[in-house]
Amino acid sequence: MSKIIECERDPDINGSYGYRRICIWLTKYYGLQVNHKRVYRLMRKMGIQAKIRKKKWRHFGLKEQCVVSENLLNREFSTTRPNQKWVTDITYLTFNKKRIYLSVILDLYNNEVVAYQMSEYNNLKLVTDTVNKALRKRKVHETVLHSDRGYQYTSKKYNQLLKKHKITVSMSRKGNCYDNACIESFFSHFKAECFYRHTFHEKAEVFKATKRYMSYYNNKRFQKRLNNLSPIEFGTKAA
C-alpha cells in the first residue's frame, strides 16, 4: 500500500495514474508483479481514484480559406517510423478571466510531443512558430502533417512553409474532429491531468505547469499502445 501512496504523491504523476498505470509503475521501479485487480481494490480501500477525463469533441465551422488539402491521413494513425505522420491542433486554456492558446505537434509513431507553443493570440504566428520549433528538433523526410481546416492551416504562409521543407499537408474534412482524434485525445488528457487540477492566476503559472506536463508526458507517462513505455522510451528502444 505504501508504494501505491508513493506513486500517487509523485509530483510529476500528480494523482493522474489509474490502477493499470500504477501496476506498470510498480513493475518498472520496484520489480513488483501485482495483479491489477488487487491494485484496484487497494486504491478503492484507500480512497484513491485517478481523475477521469470527460471526452469533449469540438466542431469547427469553415472560415474563408486560401489553401485546402485532402484528408490524406484518412484516420490511418499507425506508422512504421518516426516523423512519418505528425498531427497538430490548437486548444485554448481559460483561467482567471484570461485565455491562452496552446499549439501542439504530435508524432504518431510514439505519440511524442515534438513541439508546442503558447500564446495569448490564436494567430498564424502561433502555428508557424510551432512548426519551426519542430523543424529545429527533427529532420523530416516524406513527412505528412495533418490538421483541421482552421484559418491558420489554410493560409498561404503556412502551406508555403511546409512546402519549403517538403512536408505534405493533410487536412480533416469539414467539421469532422474524428479525423484528428489523436490530438484531440492528447488535449483531453492534458486538461484532465494538468490544467483542470490547478487554480491559475497568472500566465507564467500556466506556462510553467504546461512545460512540466510536457516533460512528464514524453518521459514518464506510460502508454499501453507503446508496450507500456513512455513516448521517449519507445522511441529510444526503436532507434
pLDDT digits (tens, 9 = 90+) for 149-191: 999 999 999 999 999 999 999 999 988 889 999 999 999 999 9
Report the chain's mean pLDDT, rounded to a whole number: 89
DSSP strand pairing (85-95 vs 98-107): antiparallel
The reply to whether 156 and 211 lie within a common domain is yes
Q: Residue 208's domain spans which residues? A: 85-238
Residues 42 and 89 in one domain: no
Helix (H, G, I), strand (E, B) or coil at 136: helix
pLDDT on residue 53: 54
- More confident site: 196 or 176: 196
Q: Would you say residue 93 has pLDDT above 60?
A: yes
Which amino acid does the sequence have at 140? V
Query: How confident is the model at residue 61, as a pLDDT?
Result: 47
User: Is residue 230 scored above 70 in pLDDT?
Assistant: yes
Give the whole-angstrom CA distance, residue 159 versus residue 174: 18
Does the structure show a pLDDT above 50 at 7?
yes
- Whether 103 and 23 share a structural domain: no
How far apart CA 126 and CA 116 sit, in angstroms, is 9
Provide CB contacts within 8 A for 119, sequence distance 6+: 100, 101, 103, 125, 126, 129
Co-location of 100 and 179 in the same domain: yes
Distance (Å, whole) CA 182 – CA 147? 11
State pLDDT tens for residues 132-158. 999 999 999 999 999 999 999 999 999
Total of domains in the chain: 2
What are the angstrom distances between the C-alpha of 239 and each of 82, 109, 153, 235? 9, 12, 31, 6
Cα→Cα distances 59→77, 104, 138, 143, 201, Å: 20, 18, 31, 26, 29
pTM of the predicted model as reported, rounded to 2 decimal places: 0.76
**Residue 143 belongs to a domain:** yes
Asked if residue 40 and residue 96 are part of one domain, the reply reads no
In a domain, 130, yes or no: yes
| CATH number reported for the structural domain that contains residue 146 in this entry | 3.30.420.10
Closest CA to 159 of 89, 72, 66: 66
Higher pLDDT, 104 or 11: 104
Does 169 lie in the same domain as 121?
Answer: yes
Q: How far is CA 180 from the centre of its chain?
A: 12
> In this structure, are 92 and 147 located in the same domain?
yes
Largest Cα separation within the chain, whole Å, is 58
Strands across the sheet with 144-147, in order? 112-119, 98-107, 85-95, 144-147, 168-171
* 130 shares its domain with 233: yes
Lookup: cell for 141:
523526410
- Residue-wise pLDDT tens digits, 24-60: 877 877 777 878 787 777 777 777 766 555 544 444 4
DSSP 4-19: HHHHHH-TTTTT---H
Q: Are residues 6 and 116 in the same domain?
A: no
Whose CA is closest to 173, among 46, 74, 81, 30? 74
179 and 94 co-located in one domain: yes
The reported pLDDT for the residue numbered 203 is 97
User: Given CA atoms 5, 197, 187, 12 in this order, what sign does their dihedral have?
Assistant: negative
Residue 60 within a domain: no
| Domain identity same for 220 and 104 | yes
Could you tell me if residue 155 is inside a domain? Answer: yes
- 66 belongs to a structural domain: no
Cα–Cα distance for residue pair 23/2, rounded to 1 Å: 13
Please indicate, yes or no, whether residues 182 and 125 belong to a single structural domain of this protein: yes
> Is 63 contained in some domain?
no
